[in-house]
Amino acid sequence: MTTETESIAPNAPSLAVLGSQPRYLQLAQTLLNEIESGRYPVGTQLPTEFELCEQFGVSRSTAREAVKRLVSLGLVVRQPRVGSTVCARVATTGYRQSIAEVSDLYQYATETTLHIESGDMVQIDAMQAQQVEGAAGETWLHLLGRRHVAASSDPICVTELWIHPAFRSVQGLKGPLSRAVHAVIEEQFGEVITSVEQEIRALVLSDAHADELGAARGSAGLWVCRKYRNKLQQLVELAISIHPADRFSYTTVLRREWGVGARTGNK
């Protein structure tokens, strides 16, 4: 998988980082301002992580997270043995997600806000059971909501969540939520999410979803399904999100293992 990160509207750099924020966000805002001011023009290299540590008196992890934020905003690209290159002067609109590991999903959840609008206990039927890998008659917690980023009043997606019966009594999943739902489950039940399966499909927004999202009817969208599993590979949470195509993008970086190449056969 790859960083889920917030994008800000053009000409509004102050929206990228608001209020009292972690040190890496403050550093990201400083670098963003310097890119927009022209100190680092498009095509030039940002200082290395080591140089950022020296310049700003921060740790290596803080410097790394700050650059990751700029990558997620579409301002910088990172390449092995090349460094971090400025590719845009103004952050892109919408939301760009890049996930390399499960922990990156926590960042996505904290950089966006899920407004949970309804929650019910649902005795699932045969079709729903197939979707959630359960058995007909089980009672799952079913949540519906919309996710927002700070830079935009329009939601980036509508989200449907199914929580396994073992965790359906989870507390605190009401109203605006700036935490990962699976993180709340882990905290309250001592469960550990060890893998996340993700599937993405293109679709045409239904009229109902278009209206909920404030998007044009008949416009393009993305369907994203994530299955959160524990160490026994049992499904703990199923999350289905539907995004307008112009408010969400997904970035994956594939790294090749050195010494592994294409095999050629000899006849």
Give the angle 221-68-177 at the CA atoms, nearest 5°: 60
Q: What is the mean pLDDT of residues 78-105?
A: 68
46 burial via Cβ count (<10 Å: 0-12, 13-18, 19+): buried
pLDDT at 108 over 70: no
Residue 62 has pLDDT above 60, yes or no: yes
CATH topology for 17-86 is Arc Repressor Mutant, subunit A (1.10.10)
Q: What's the whole-model pTM score?
A: 0.61
Measure the CA–CA gap between 146 and 134, rounded to whole angstroms: 25
Q: Does residue 63 surpass a pLDDT of 50?
A: yes
Q: Can you tell me the mean pLDDT for 18-44?
A: 82
Domain positions in the chain: 17-86, 95-251
- Domain with residues 95-251, CATH architecture: 3-Layer(aba) Sandwich (3.40)
The 10 Å Cβ neighbour count of residue 75 is 27
For the chain, the first-to-last Cα distance in angstroms comes to: 37
% of the chain at pLDDT higher than 90: 47
